[in-house]
Structure 1
Amino acid sequence: MRCCSYQLNVLFDRSAVTLEFLSNNPSVAQITTRLAIYGQAKPNKCDDETFVALVACCPNLRALHLRRWNFTSVRPHLLSQCSFLTLTSFFIGAQSMLTVAGFFGLLAVMPALKRLGLGRVEGGYDSDSGSGEERPDEEKFATPACSLTHLVVSDDWNIGFWHYGHLLSRSHDTLEHLELHWIFDDSVGDAVADALARCTRVRHLTLIGNDFANERIIAACPTVCSLELVVPPSDAEAAAMRAPLRSLELVNCYVNDPESFIDAAWERLRERLPMAPALSMIGFRLMRTRRSGARETEGLRKLRKACKERRILLSFHG
């Protein structure tokens, strides 16, 4: 018997209409495995009651993406009416109003969750917590029920989310993949490193555009063997690694000229490659340009030759 699944994208100003459609079409709701709630420039109309009703309509939901809505948390009596037991992937977009307490309240009812993407959680926490500079007692937050394998923090918008120890409290033996992008509070690096010190299986780290030192995070993960960075590892970053580096991805975030990016990377790689005998893959993620690919510069030719001699797979993609 052939199985099928359905992805449902919901604009928040049409959420009530979508809810009515799912209620009247249970066969569609039954096969909906991915639900994405998006927003436009209009006032957000997806409240927590509508949100819970949408999820409750989809008994086989696996992935939930929230990009805009207007509730800061889901009220407890509503959470008790909805099952998140099948959810394995949860993404919170940047344009949201969810507080930290509301965020942990949701994680407490997602025991099967494996992949979490954190785009933004409000720094104010809740209406009673006072200044956003004060760190509330984590004992007041619900305990996550999930054991994560993948955590992606896309951008914390300078809000200072420090609660990585609480977030990963059940993921010490499961977390394998961590991505940290554009975190502008240096103190967050210490919170992340302290939490990672308890995690025993982290294999991959992506560290892009953060204000804290990468080596602090790398040193906290003795099993990491795959890195995604903006430039090849520095001496300090290489020294922080305890396991052999096997995979390296370089991301062009700043340079519009792919040739310059590759040539600059080669200048570092030429010294680093002899000290990374286990390296088997180097990837370049290039900024999209009108031209396809990069011109064959002297640096690129030398890079290709060095990778061929060391049997390193070299790849380029946009």
Structure 2
Amino acid sequence: MPLQGTIYSIIDFEGFINSYFSNPLSPDEATFTPISNARAVLAANIPSSSFTPVLSINTTTDSDGSFILDEKMLPDAGTSELYIIFLREVQTFRDPAGIEIPIFEPFYRSAPFRKEQINRSAEIKIYTRFEQMPNVFGITQGQIDKRASCIADNDQRINSLTARISDHKIRIRGKGKQQKKEIKFRGNILIRPSTTPDLNSFINPKIRDFEVELNGERYPVLIEKFFTMCIEKEEMKTMVKNNIEDLVSKMYSRFKEKLIKHLAERTNIKETKIRNIIQNQASTTFEKFRFPVIGIISVTHPFPHLIEERIIVGDCWFGFPKNIYH
């Protein structure tokens, strides 16, 4: 028998929490409603930087939120670990041929489980809740500046590093050194939601439009394919890619802390209980990130001009349970 289940959207958070923790197998039905037309994905837990899991099968939930996934249809990935992810259509994109292409974003990820843990006689029930975070809970430019400065101070190969929040990305600029030669680099970090089963990871950063300037010559390079010039590939990758990803990874814990405070402020549930729920019971998935303008700043370098001050705000879903099989 394949995996069968139903996914729901929580419409009364406080009522659901009280009933769910009293009886997880049968929470109050008045506190949730089924989610139809969502994409349910069963994926193999293998390392990948792809937004869509490399080896997976999918189906669409019915009007009552039900779904069926048969892991026997999943290609052999050399691993017995699987996980489930749900995505929903958030908009459509019209390609040059005029064809509308749906855009899906994640809203639930389960923790990994092994094939032998699957209980085929029991129906999976997943309960999810969307929270749009107010701008006050966003990641600020000051926090990004502080982390970039810390990276430059702690890595002797980096002389300077700046990272500025822009529209849908973070622009990076910096100077480093390799074999006593000064290297300038620049690029963009695209911020996308994570679709991996690592539930402590909310962001899938992608470095794009990366350029290195050496001896006055500028070279566009693929960050993953550094480098046949006179620069050692792995050293350069460590100096830039790993440090930039470290900058972004520090946002994970900040986002979770801000989510906990936001929920505690919106409900009558104590922050300590919210923290326990978010950290131990629920799966947290950021559906999208927004980059709203919160002000205009006047700068003088390299010439007087005005720039937009932005923050990064994550709108998220959390789901119960995160461990669908124990």
TM > 0.5: no
Give TM-score scaled by structure 1 length: 0.21
Q: Which has the higher contact order (CA 8 A, sep 6+)?
A: 2
Give TM-score scaled by structure 2 length: 0.21
Greater strand content: 2
Greater helix content: 1
